[in-house]
Chains A and B, each alone.
Chain A
Amino acid sequence: MDLHEHQGKELFAQAGIPVAEGRVAFTADEARAAAEDLGGRVVVKAQVLTGGRGKAGGVKVVDGPGPAQQAADTILGLDIKGHITRRLLVERAVAIADEYYFSITFDRAAKMPLLMLTTMGGMDVEAVAEEHPDRLARLHVDPALGYRGFHGQRLMSMANVPVGERKALAPLLAALYGVFADRDAMLVEVNPLVRLEDDTFLAADAKVTIDDNALYRQPDVEAMRDLAAADPQEQAAREADLAYVKLDGDVGILGNGAGLVMSTVDVIAQVGGRPANFCDVGGGASAEKIATALGIVLSDDKVQSVLFNIFGGITRGDEVAKGLLGALEQTDVRAPIVVRLDGTNAAEGRALLAEAARPEITVEETMLAAAETAVRLAGEVA
């Protein structure tokens, strides 16, 4: 789960990491009130779950409540890489002397947290890695040891942080690692991590991603979920415990198992179609869950045909068939459905479908044939 900047900073502040004083605003009036409250120069920042806000005009430094209101008016509703700006963070402007970059990522390859620090902050870290690899310090933390003071010392030395600044920076690095470890984060990134003119440090941005599998023990983070930012189908899928990712084509896809569904999405594209979504009903899905999943896939207006691709292991073919037939009974299914059933109880499932003889359903033997039929049917409707 990705957090907004202001939410990440809330976690930072709880861990004693300095952040600029700020207020969240959902309207221009609220932004004005926030600027009044904070006094002086403020920064108005779009809160969207994507990068590149600055370039898109989503960050403005202004003087006083009136200009803050005007800035908020411009930024609210702004489309930043497909994300509509619905909330703002209004912060007290700070006197920046230097911009650094610090992150903790979950390095899958090494199976250890990876610390990265560079004094070339503010810019894209991938560009630093490419153009100035010697300036990007990288250090793994052995999970058996956890973060120790020496990690920070070594990292700051590798990054050539001026010696006089290290005493002030070290506790921030340690505290940010604390957020990573205690909050089940997959990513904690601060860019820029700024040195102020008084030689103290402050986290001027916060990019935090929390492990979805750990949200049960991070209830305050779960409560931060921005429902408005989620696609309605993705939201409904999450509530039904389905893995759903919206794509932009017209062939709806439903299957069991992430790998098989990913593969199905590929095959639809390979036979000339456009996948509308990725939808994994998971292992052992019940008839009811199958019906719910179909409803979600069809609630996307663009969908013109649906491909059901099931290779049963835990999932049973007869259950899938019952779910599908049940869904057809309950709701008016507006698009043709192509079914491919294989694996556990597939013969029973196919027999149930043949018996019902629903005109909406076409049964195919193989994944490839099913994909071709689904694409052809979508084309006929469109």
Chain B
Amino acid sequence: MAVIATADTRLVVQGITGREGAFHALRNRAYGTQVVAGVTPGKAGEDVEGIPVFDAVADAVDRAGANTSLVVVPPRFAAEAILEAADAGVEQIVCITEGIPAHDMLEVYHYVRPRGIRLLGPNCPGALSPGIANIGIVPAEVFSPGPVGLVSRSGTLTYQIGGELAAAGLGNSTIIGIGGDPVVGTSFIDVLDLFEADPETEFIVMVGEIGGTDEEKAAEVIAERITKPVVAYIAGFEAPPGKTMGHAGAIISGSSGTAAGKQAALEAKGVPVGTNPTEAARLVVERLGR
């Protein structure tokens, strides 16, 4: 089964004729993802190594049967690209683009969410279900199929923890990066619910970082309705307050959003928290007993 990136995914890549767009579209296809179309306004009729290009997402839906969009367009145009995909009727949108203005994302979020469209990101690495499909920029060679669902706000930190798990012989059902921006379409809670319902996922690893209250809220939900075991890792214990640590969302403001606060909230609900990636991986191995 897996989630988000599945055998049923029919991907349209918005921005496919750009350098990054073409690179990742082809990499995703080479991994086995059904990449059925690309969109770049003004380039309809062209193709990228056999992938047909359309002017509008609605054309990709009508003529190529796209049901999921990967947005790889520059930040100034990305919010509109997401809205276009939502309006065209795709079920899922994965937005890699970093640097979209937060106010634009407010508008996008409140358009997409009530319509039941899944938006992953922005500023995220996407979703990879090892052996099945890859949507986005996760380096698939690090990961193998297995029972651990991995969800993270950070791209490279996901790779780090996935790498540590792989070294311990553990594979993944799906790896999901939700993104590090102040407004992202999919929260930890959304992904926890997806993993809870996914028969392939037996164990969940949640990788958080400083800023916001998503990890604290996830702790509540884990206690309330997640029956599968969860291990967490939080980055940013040494981050100074008031400074943005790379991700626009990673900032400690006042007394909220600290790594220690998140660790305490999770541990209070019985979720073990590793204080570094190696320790987090070890906690998983111990609990899975394999």
Contact = CB atoms under 8 A, between A and B. Distances in A.
Genuine A/B complex = yes
Interface of A: 106, 108-109, 111-113, 126, 142-144, 181, 184, 186, 211-214, 216-217, 243, 245, 247, 255-263, 265-270, 275, 278, 280, 283-284, 311-314, 342-344, 366-368
A213 to B, nearest CB: 5
9 contacts: A214-B101, A259-B152, A260-B157, A263-B276, A311-B156, A342-B163, A343-B159, A367-B278, A368-B276
A40 to B, nearest CB: 36
Given A278-B246, A366-B278, A184 B101 contact: yes
A112 B106 contact: yes
Interface string B128-160: 000000000111011000000000111111111
Given A213-B102, A214-B101, A267-B276, 4 more contacts: A213-B99, A214-B103, A259-B246, A265-B238
Given A261-B246, A313-B137, A342-B163, A367 B101 contact: no
A53 B54 CA distance: 57
A211 B211 CA distance: 16
Interface in B262-290: 275-278
B239 A111 contact: no
Given A213-B100, A213-B101, A108 B183 contact: yes
Contacts of A181: 103
A280 B240 contact: no
A269 B236 CA distance: 11
Contact of B102 (A126, A211, A313): A211
Contact of B277 (A109, A217, A257, A263): A263
B237 interface: yes
B214 interface: yes
Contacts of B75: 213
Contact of A262 (B110, B182, B209, B248): B209
B195 interface: no
Contact of A257 (B154, B237, B248): B154
A142 B102 contact: no
9 shortest A-B CB distances, which residue pairs?
A: A259-B154, A258-B246, A257-B156, A259-B157, A214-B101, A260-B156, A243-B246, A262-B235, A280-B246
A211 B102 CA distance: 7
Interface of B: 20, 75-76, 98-104, 106-107, 109-111, 125, 137-139, 141-142, 152-160, 163, 180, 182-183, 207, 209-214, 217, 235-240, 243-250, 254-255, 259, 275-278
B139 A344 contact: yes
Contacts of A143: 106-107, 109-110
B252 to A, nearest CB: 11
Contacts of A314: 137
Contacts of A269: 237-238
A339 to B, nearest CB: 15
Nearest to A278: B245
A257 B102 contact: no
Contact of B212 (A108, A142, A260): A108
A106 B277 CA distance: 31
A270 B245 CA distance: 18
Nearest to A247: B240
Contacts of A284: 20
Nearest to A218: B101
A323 B239 CA distance: 27
A279 to B, nearest CB: 9
Contacts of A212: 244, 248
A99 B3 CA distance: 53
B106 A262 contact: no
B64 to A, nearest CB: 26
Contacts of B109: 111, 143
Given A109-B214, A181-B103, A260 B160 contact: yes
A217 B244 CA distance: 21
Contacts of B254: 126
Contact of B250 (A214, A258, A311): A258
B103 A184 contact: yes
Contacts of A255: 156
Given A258-B247, A259-B209, A269-B237, A313 B125 contact: yes
Contacts of A113: 106
Contact of B101 (A211, A343, A368): A211
Contacts of B125: 313
A313 B175 CA distance: 14
Given A214-B101, A367-B278, A259 B106 contact: no
A216 B74 CA distance: 13
A278 B158 CA distance: 18
Nearest to B250: A258
A312 B284 CA distance: 24
A370 to B, nearest CB: 12
A256 B240 contact: no
Contacts of B158: 259
Given A111-B110, A247-B238, A262-B210, A311 B245 contact: no
Contacts of B141: 344
A126 B154 CA distance: 30
B154 A260 contact: yes
A12 B37 CA distance: 47
A212 B209 CA distance: 20
Nearest to B111: A144
Contacts of A280: 246
A258 B240 contact: no
A207 B276 CA distance: 36
Contacts of B255: 126
B160 A263 contact: yes
